[in-house]
Amino acid sequence: MPTITDSIGRVLAGRYRIESALGSGASAHVFCAWDVTLRRRVAIKVLHPALAGDSAFLRRFQAEAQAAASLAHPYILAVHDWGEDDFGPFLVTELCGGGSLRDILDEGRRLSVAQALLVGSEAAEGLAYAHGRGFVHRDVKPANLLFGEDSRLRLADFGLARALAEAAWTEPVGTTLGTARYAAPEQAQGRQVDGRADVYSLALVLYEAVTGMVPFVADTTLATLMARVDARLPGHDALGPLAPVLDAATSGDPDQRLDASSFAARLRALGTEVPQTAPLPLAGPGGHKLPPAPSSRERAKADDLTELGLSTPAPAAADLAGDSAARGPKAEPARRRVAGFLGRTPVKIALVVLAALLLVGAAAYGVSASGLFVASHRLPAVTGDTETAARQALRRDHFTLAVAGHRSSVTVPTGDVIRETPVAGTVLKEGSTVKVVLSSGPPPVAVPSLSSVTGGCAQVASMLAAAQLRSACTQQNSTTVVSGAVIDWSPQGRAPLGSAVHVVVSSGPPIETIPSLTGSTCQGATTTLQAVSLKAQCQNTYSTTVPSGQVVSWSPTGQAPQGTTVVVQISQGPPPVPVPNLLGDTLQQALTALQNAGLQPGNISGRGSGRVVQTSPSTGTPVPPGSSVDMTLQ
């Protein structure tokens, strides 16, 4: 199959003469062509060779094209013809001179709420008409919402998505993901798809048209679809009164979702309440203006099949001979007159030569000034090149590059060419200026506030992923922010889609090693702990091994966060012992009992042969070990 630029000027099926390229997609090249039979401009979609070789697909495609041609609605693109020749299978549709919604968005423009209501209501009405006749689009996206020069919307590619879904081929990398950007969640669940899936897709298209971003987009097709299961449409300030209508059109449960008719009615009703704004900023087909309509003379030439590359009969020999004979007799007198004139005088000859030179010089200057002798070249494709590489490629053919602007892109790296005008393949004279639009990188998105996070880096990553951002999370000790909470993040406000947000999460206070407190007093232990940002709490305890006033033990031991209180046990010496019951004992019995209790006898009064009738301290009184107990015997 010839390249898209080599196809200019070809004739399909002896009827459609290709004038210019409008664009190229995953399944086909799209051209503007002149219908020499009906004398009108049309759009032609020529399928890629991989599809052309799939006989099963071609049968399905022809059936779908014929069925789509039966859809007659002001908001559905009219299908005129279907055919196949050496160039490949092709579909002929009406030509929409206003371009697509994708072209508008690719120019960095956004729709107002009023404009989105108009586009959405017309698209929903077209879908409702098709759904009522058994059609499900399956691929509603900005590139399939086309506009006429009168700004009226047409839904394109009815039937093509279904045929492609059953084709035995593999689309280019990224195509499926691109389509999944607008797919309904039931497609990830293997459920049957009906017209309400188209409603979901249209709602996402309107969301993007107003906000500049598509919600729920992840790194893979499955992740994108699964992110929409049981998920509510995220709010956005730009949506205004449109938000609740889109929310009702994107319910995760198709049974709770608006159908196309209800969606159209809600949008129309809201449109009567919202102030009207400027007309749609149409971009032209493929983002370019159509070439000027051919004049009557050009149309006659275009309609002449001999001018379309078909063979023409050679002039008859008799005609050539007759023409020569007709010229012969009249030529001789003229030659004689010139010879006579030139023979009269050398001055006259010089004047004739001078006049001839002046005429030739003037003609040469006029031709040069008009640019007729300036070389022309086909414009090379520089889309996807860096600005430097694009300038070099254009300079080889003596073209000049001019940067017409910048716009956001999630697929084209910053500084690379997104669009060139005129389109690649256009024949231009040397010295022409080629305008390019450069990528400014991914579009900015709102960075969510992380001040309420308490779950650490895991919660941060989840919140940023929902906002289509990446997390670069680190931990840092803090004595003022609790563990798991966010200390700071950057950038705040807005950041490029898919970029990293640097987040610092608190890991709590620093960890300190608790020093040994053995042999310290309470005051000494307090001073030692304060030196490592710890606190001391002294408590008294008895000890038979540690002298009174010294540290017996402390808790915790090992390590603890700064600011932790360490409980320190201070010895009070051995524990007290109770005075044994000596009443009624003999003196010897009493002395033995005191010795066994670790006490000593004090003053002893009364008869030595008597029995103890009183002690001081009294029986049961706790006293320090070694204390004296006085006794009275009687």
Largest separation between any pair of C-alpha atoms in the chain: 191
Q: Decide if 630 is catalytic.
A: no
H or E, element range at 347: helix 346-370
Residue with the two structure tokens 């052309």: 52
DSSP-derived secondary structure letter, 398:
T
Tokens of 282: 């149409």
Inter-residue contact 562 to 510 (CB < 8 Å):
yes
Cα–Cα distance, 153 to 122 (Å, whole number) = 7
Residue 542, SS3 per DSSP:
coil
| Residue-wise DSSP of 216-250 | T--SSHHHHHHTTTT-PPPP-GGGGGGHHHHHHHT
| Alpha-carbon dihedral sign for residues 30, 36, 38, 41 | positive
Which amino acid is present at 598?
Answer: G
Which amino acid is present at 593?
Answer: A
Give 381's contacts (C-beta < 8 A, 6+ positions apart). 5, 420, 424, 425
Residue with the two structure tokens 């399905």: 60
Instruction: List the end-to-end C-alpha distance of the chain, in Å, as a whole number.
Output: 135
17's torsion region: left (phi>0), alpha (psi -120 to 50) or beta?
A: beta
Residue with the two structure tokens 């097709």: 221
Cα–Cα distance, 432 to 421 (Å, whole number) = 11
- R_g (Cα) of the chain, nearest Å: 47
Cα–Cα distance, 451 to 94 (Å, whole number) = 55
Residue whose C-alpha is closest to residue 27's, from 147, 189, 156: 156
CA atoms within 13 A on the CB side of 173: 2
Inter-residue contact 629 to 616 (CB < 8 Å):
yes
Q: Is the peptide bond before 617 cis (omega within 30 degrees of 0)?
A: yes
Residue whose C-alpha is closest to residue 251's, from 211, 199, 208: 199
CA atoms within 13 A on the CB side of 252: 13
Inter-residue contact 153 to 122 (CB < 8 Å):
yes
Catalytic entry in 35, 81, 103, 139: 139
DSSP-derived secondary structure letter, 442:
S
Residue with the two structure tokens 């009687």: 634
CA atoms within 13 A on the CB side of 291: 19
Cα–Cα distance, 75 to 417 (Å, whole number) = 33
Cα–Cα distance, 224 to 207 (Å, whole number) = 16
Cα–Cα distance, 33 to 21 (Å, whole number) = 9
Cα–Cα distance, 515 to 534 (Å, whole number) = 10
Residue with the two structure tokens 């690379």: 416
Taking residue 173's Cβ as centre, other Cβ atoms within 10 Å add up to: 7
Reduced DSSP (H G I as helix, E B as strand, rest coil) percent helix, strand, coil of the chain, to 5: 35, 25, 40
User: Which residues participate in catalysis according to the annotation?
Assistant: 139
